[in-house]
Amino acid sequence: MDFKKISKDGEDFEFFCRDLLESIGCTILSHPSRGPDGKKDILIEIESSNPLDKKERTTYLVQCKHNAHSGKSVLEKDIGDFRSACRNHGAGGYFLICSTIPSVTVSNNLASENTEGDFKTLIWDKRKLQQKVESSPEFEEIGKRFGLLENVEVTFSQLKKVMLSESGFPYDFKEAIDNDKWKGLIFKKVILNNEFQEKTILAGYFCMLGSDAASQVKEITEEFCLDNLILVSNQETNEKSVYSINGIYNMLQNYRDEKYQELLWQSFNSASIPLNPNAILFLSNIAKIPYKVQEVTIENLRKILAYPKDDGRALFIYEAINTIGKFKLKIFETELLNMLSKVEDWEIEKIKKILLISALSGALAVIYDSETSSIEKIVNIFKRSNSPQTKFGITRFFIDAKVRDPSGAVETFLKNVQDNELLATLHLIGYSPTGVHVVPNRAPANAHLELDKYQNIQ
């Protein structure tokens, strides 16, 4: 942070220090003013806790020394007789804030006073001052108000706040780069290569300068020997290698979700499948957890869909289909269509088959969009079926998706089965310590109601 951007007359620096102190919770008793101040720039009150957790309030006389333009350290003559100044203003402590550094003599005198004298002392040199600015809840406002920040500095501060506070990131922090050219963070991770030897992977997150992303990626990657690099911009962009701060936050959220979902699926896969009813109960609840679906969940759902189609595994498949529908995972559309075309031939209990047909139709309705040809495929599956019960289950797709069959076959079917005794398509799943079972809905299907719903589709 370049404090030379604050005018060298010292007045703006005093106001800068006042605003910073106020932003971090100090009470301002006396504000900067023009004219002789008796060695007093600002008078503040700070609340702290003693070893007995008793709150103490101390009044500090604050002197602000702005030597950034000359680069000189703060000397004894610059602060004068700080003890007399503290007595004159009724202060119990002396607080030196400088935009360079205090001299060795000044540092030693203030340290000695703090341990052996009558007054408490505090020192913020330029590094401590920058840390306090960056950690202030009003960092951006103060930085911009006094011309300290450019866009890249704001972005870098936000990047540090987001990345360095993240516990779920799968890399360890290595170092921060903050020089006149680059501002970024480097992380490391140790992995085993194909020969089972340890290899350190370096990943960088650097603030983007200008608009030429490609050349910056090349230069930064080579200079810091990075394996992976993401540029961070304060604006949204379509560049694959450039993220906004929101994009970085979403990336970290994905890491959290991925780790969490890995643990969930480890728990599921350790169960005795298909005999453990708790495993099916787990699967029915996973769709209720609010997170973004990660690859580990997609892989495990795909494994469950591939289970042998028998009575023992039918309810696992049923709950997996419901989960796909809940998360609107269109990636499974082809698999669900293929299952719907074959479910009639599976050798499982009739009630479970009805459940599966209803679940498949409902999930396909959720992920349906008018730009795909899935409706034609579902109509063909519907027409090929010889089972009125299967056809009735498939009508759920059209009603839930609010789309009509262009061939008219669905409406004709619903009109023709008004007097048929069809089973309901919705049933409950019962769980007990000894097993899991379907609790049948004994009421017959209401074909009249389904026809009304279908005919009301606009």
Residue whose structure tokens are 């704001």: 154
All residues at 6 or more sequence positions from 33 whose CB lies less than 8 Å from its CB, including other chains: none
Task: State how far Cα 210 lies from the chain centre.
Answer: 27
Q: How far is CA 445 from CA 66, 143, 391, in A?
A: 84, 68, 12
Q: What per-residue confidence (pLDDT) applies to 37? A: 47
The b/e string for 227-236 (b: 16+ C-beta within 10 A; e otherwise) is eebbbbbeee
Cis peptide before 32 (omega within 30 of 0): no
| Helix, coil or strand: residue 257 | helix
- What is the DSSP track for 107-129? HHHHHHHHHHSSSEEEEE-HHHH
The strands making up 228-233's β-sheet, listed across from edge to edge, are: 172-178, 183-192, 198-207, 228-233, 242-244
All residues at 6 or more sequence positions from 316 whose CB lies less than 8 Å from its CB, including other chains: 273, 274, 279, 280, 283, 304, 307
- Report the distance separating Cα 389 and Cα 393, nearest Å: 6
Q: Which residues of the chain have pLDDT under 50?
A: 35, 37-39
Q: What per-residue confidence (pLDDT) applies to 124? A: 96
Q: What per-residue confidence (pLDDT) applies to 266? A: 83
Class of domain 3-145: alpha beta
pTM metric for this prediction: 0.57
Residue whose structure tokens are 């230069």: 219
| Helix, coil or strand: residue 338 | helix
- Report the distance separating Cα 366 and Cα 350, nearest Å: 25
Query: Residues 454, 399: contact at Cβ < 8 Å?
Result: yes
| Helix, coil or strand: residue 188 | strand
The residue ranges of every structural domain in the chain are 3-145, 151-252, 271-455
